[in-house]
Structure 1
């Protein structure tokens, strides 16, 4: 006589599937309706879960979106750093051109802008936004500039955190305030201007 044993459901797998569906839904919806109209109820409906499932894991829609966006950024992986061909100006131009293309893509731009605006009004979210998104990005620029210092292409006495602010600040302001398009001409000019400020000072005779 044979008997069949029913398998018990894998709760952890089901939970992970639900979590990924929620994160995906939040990214899709913020691009479709914008952050102000994004709701936990809409995310739950799109993900096929109850809203209490979302509230069990996240306190707010901003927290859901931050997790979703962080996963997207981590998929691109900061660990490899910026390219280092030995020509720091060419490398920075390459990276900022790619960044301009990314920030002009609605699927990236909508959730990032939503988080930036929400963080401006929420100190706790702002801390997480900085530590999870901004700081890892700044770190790879600092490391590339440090390599430039070691190669004699960047002034050895520079504060590298401040140097990154000098490079990225105008880019972020143009994007956040919508004062102009993020063209490759703009990013190339920005790198060229920054390199004049960051280059080693001529040794006086």
Structure 2
């Protein structure tokens, strides 16, 4: 199997299951034009996020890592009209592009984009005593993933679904001697997750247009 074949299969899946969507196309185009890194989820992964949020019956979502708001839009579309999505972005330039995309998608009344370091904003959310989130999506800087998991658990309830992206990293996650802080952050995240009694979790390897990676799927089962 080659990257070319993975790309072709992703195009086949996208053509079958994801109708053309000018809003999402503009989101990707504006992100690329602004020089944002191409780290957004693929279309079929975005559809998966939407389906998981719908299956969950989510009314409140927390997203850690906005980038250009591509995944934000997928997730927000799963919410009812009185739902709420809070998304956190550290880079002001990325946030500016994301906000424009959120407005263009007609979601500014549902999406609350907060700009700043995620760990600082998560502390603020706890101080605000926001209600526990129904779904939390972690897709930000990987060295801080262990801390994001701790905060996700603080801001969740039994039944909350937590999804974490990029937990395989082209297979390098198995290298305990890696000097890459991203790999070490994910390894520590996985180790904490495996020993956490408040959750039931697994991780899935994926291949496709985003390369070889994977995601963790976590259900909170106890306070």
Report the TM-score, using the length of structure 2 for normalisation.
0.24
Higher RCO (CA-CA < 8 Å; seq separation 6+) = 1
In our comparison, the structure showing a higher alpha carbon Rg is 1
Higher helix share: 1
Higher strand share: 2
Report the TM-score, using the length of structure 1 for normalisation.
0.26
